[in-house]
Amino acid sequence: DAMVIQNPRYQVTQFGKPVTLSCSQTLNHNVMYWYQQKSSQAPKLLFHYYDKDFNNEADTPDNFQSRRPNTSFCFLDIRSPGLGDAAMYLCATSRDPGVREKLFFGSGTQLSVL
Partner 1 sequence: KQEVTQIPAALSVPEGENLVLNCSFTDSAIYNLQWFRQDPGKGLTSLLLIQSSQREQTSGRLNASLDKSSGRSTLYIAASQPGDSATYLCAVGSNDYKLSFGAGTTVTVRA
Report how far residue 85's alpha carbon sits from residue 16's, in angstroms, rounded to the nearest whole number.
Answer: 11
- At residue 94, what is the residue type? S
Position 40 contacts partner 1 (CB under 8 A):
yes
**CB closer to partner 1, 71 vs 107:** 107
Position 30 contacts partner 1 (CB under 8 A):
no
Beta-strand ranges (E) seen in 10-102 are 10-13, 19-25, 31-37, 44-50, 53-56, 64-67, 73-78, 87-94
How many residues sit in the footprint of partner 1 (CB under 8 A)? 26
Position 41 contacts partner 1 (CB under 8 A):
yes
Position 26 contacts partner 1 (CB under 8 A):
no
Report how far residue 89's alpha carbon sits from residue 72's, in angstroms, rounded to the nearest whole number.
Answer: 18
> Which residues from 77-96 bind partner 1, rule CB under 8 A?
88, 90, 92
Q: What is the contact surface with partner 1 in residues (CB under 8 A)?
A: 4, 6, 31, 40-43, 45, 48, 50, 55, 88, 90, 92, 97-100, 102-108, 110
